C-alpha cells in the first residue's frame, strides 16, 4: 500500500492511480463567519492560481432573530471569467440564497459553479436587512473546490 491506500503492482497501474487522484475535486478555501449582523460587501475568499472550474458551496443560518423582520441573503459570488476577462456576479438563486422567515430555524444553502481566471479573486457578497430593537444575527460558511 502506498499513500491513499493504493496498491501498486505495475508502474502502469501506479500512473493510472495518480491520474485518478489528480482529476478529483479538492478544497482550495474555506471561510466560516459567526456573529454577523451586517451585509458583507465584496470580500475576497480565494486568489485564483489556476484558471478553471470552481464549485462554491455555502450554508448560512439565523442565530438570533430580529425583533420585527429580517432577510438573510442574497448570497452571491463575484469572479473574473477567463474567456472575456469580464468581472461577473452570479445571479441570486430564488428561495435558496435568501430567507425572510426571521426565525432561528431560517437557513440558506446552495452550490454555484464558475469558470475563474488565474490572477484574480473569487469574492463573496452577502445581503442583509433587519428591523426592530434586536438585530438579526447570522452565521455563514463557504467552501470553494477546484474541479480539475
- Domain containing residue 83: 26-147
Between 4 and 65, name the one with better pLDDT.
65
Residue 1 lies in a domain: no
Dihedrals phi, psi of 134, to nearest 5 degrees: -100, 125
pLDDT score of 22 more than 80: no
Mean confidence (pLDDT) of the chain: 88
Residue 71 lies in a domain: yes
Query: pLDDT confidence of 13, banded at 50, 70, 90?
Result: low
Q: 28 CB contacts (<8 Å, ≥6 apart)?
A: 46, 54, 144, 145, 146
Residue 18 lies in a domain: no
Closest of 92, 95, 98 to residue 136, by C-alpha:
98
Residue 105 lies in a domain: yes
Residue 51 lies in a domain: yes
Query: pLDDT tens, 47-80?
Result: 999 999 999 999 999 999 999 999 999 999 999 9
The total number of structural domains in the chain stands at: 1
Predicted confidence at residue 97, as pLDDT, reads 85
* Burial class of 76 by CB neighbour count within 10 A (0 to 12, 13 to 18, 19+): buried
Query: pLDDT confidence of 91, banded at 50, 70, 90?
Result: confident
Residue 8 lies in a domain: no
Residue 78 lies in a domain: yes
Domain containing residue 58: CATH number = 2.60.120
Dihedrals phi, psi of 83, to nearest 5 degrees: -70, -45
Number of Cβ within 10 Å of residue 93's Cβ equals: 17
pLDDT score of 3 more than 50: no
Residue 2 lies in a domain: no
For the chain, first and last CA: distance in Å?
25
Amino acid at each position: 500500500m502506498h499513500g491513499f491506500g493504493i496498491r501498486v503492482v505495475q508502474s502502469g497501474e501506479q500512473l493510472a492511480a495518480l491520474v485518478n487522484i489528480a482529476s478529483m475535486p479538492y478544497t482550495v478555501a474555506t471561510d466560516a463567519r459567526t456573529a454577523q449582523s451586517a451585509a458583507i460587501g465584496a470580500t475576497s475568499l480565494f486568489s485564483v492560481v489556476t484558471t478553471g472550474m470552481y464549485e462554491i458551496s455555502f450554508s448560512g443560518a439565523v442565530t438570533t432573530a430580529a425583533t420585527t423582520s429580517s432577510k438573510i441573503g442574497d448570497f452571491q459570488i463575484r469572479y473574473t471569467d477567463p474567456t472575456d476577462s469580464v468581472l461577473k456576479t452570479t445571479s441570486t438563486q430564488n428561495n435558496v440564497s435568501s430567507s425572510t422567515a426571521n426565525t432561528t430555524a431560517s437557513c440558506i444553502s446552495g452550490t454555484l459553479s464558475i469558470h475563474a481566471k488565474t490572477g484574480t479573486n473569487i469574492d463573496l457578497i452577502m445581503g442583509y436587512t433587519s428591523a426592530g430593537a434586536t438585530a438579526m444575527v447570522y452565521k455563514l460558511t463557504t467552501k470553494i473546490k477546484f474541479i480539475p
